[in-house]
């Protein structure tokens, strides 16, 4: 029964997930996605991959920290409720060694305090589940683009 439900959910996402708007060049980028719910992790990964992102997904903060230290990512996508800790704690730990990679929370934790805590920890965005695939992709594009513009400005200033 659970397997059938997963198949149905994937089919639903496939029916609404689009690989991008017409006349737009494919997006690229590498996203580290931290989500402890397997079904959600699978579905969101599918949506991101269909939108031309490379995704590395993990279920817990310890693995996420190990991956973040060893690889370059263009975005950290974090659920606020993860096994072994909170997304806010993970965000703080990521910011101890990586202040440049943008962080987007994608979480069911919808209270204003949850959002404030995430932003105070160093996040650039907070999207409440359940958000549709188009809304998720739009927010990913917004945050990654803003970070790219900021990074380009830093490079220009450093060369001057």
Grade residue 148 by pLDDT with cuts at 50, 70 and 90. confident
Percent of the chain with pLDDT over 70: 76
Question: What's the pLDDT at 151?
Answer: 61
Per-residue pLDDT, averaged over 90-110, amounts to 95
Per-residue pLDDT, averaged over 43-72, amounts to 96
Question: What's the pLDDT at 26?
Answer: 54
Residue 16: CA count within 13 A, CB half-sphere: 14
pLDDT digits (tens, 9 = 90+) for 82-91: 988 899 999 9
DSSP the chain: -HHHHHHHHHHHHHHH--S--TT-PPP--EEEEE-S-HHHHHHHHHHHHHTT-EEEEESBHHHHHHHHHHS--SEEEE-SEEBTEEHHHHHHHHHHH-SSS-EEEEES--SHHHHHHHHHHT-SEEEESSPPHHHHHHHHHHHHHHHHHHHHHHHHHHH-
Joined tokens for residue 152: 């380009």
pLDDT digits (tens, 9 = 90+) for 121-146: 999 999 999 899 999 999 999 999 98
The domains of the chain, with CATH numbers, are 28-159 (3.40.50.2300)
Per-residue pLDDT, averaged over 34-62, amounts to 95
């Amino acid at each position: 029964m659970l397997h059938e439900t997963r198949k149905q959910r994937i089919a639903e996402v496939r029916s609404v997930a689009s690989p991008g708007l017409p006349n737009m060049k494919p997006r690229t980028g590498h996203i580290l996605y931290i989500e402890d719910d397997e079904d959600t992790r699978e579905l969101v990964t599918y949506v991101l991959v269909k939108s031309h992102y490379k995704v590395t997904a993990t279920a817990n903060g310890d693995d996420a920290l190990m991956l973040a230290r060893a690889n370059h990512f263009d975005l950290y996508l974090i659920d606020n409720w993860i096994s072994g800790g909170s997304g806010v704690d993970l965000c703080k730990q990521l910011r101890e060694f990586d202040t440049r990679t943008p962080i987007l929370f994608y979480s069911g934790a919808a209270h204003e305090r949850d959002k404030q805590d995430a932003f105070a920890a160093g996040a650039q965005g907070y999207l409440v589940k359940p958000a549709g695939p188009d809304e998720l992709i739009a927010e990913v594009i917004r945050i990654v683009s803003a970070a790219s513009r900021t990074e380009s400005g830093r490079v220009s200033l450093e060369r001057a």
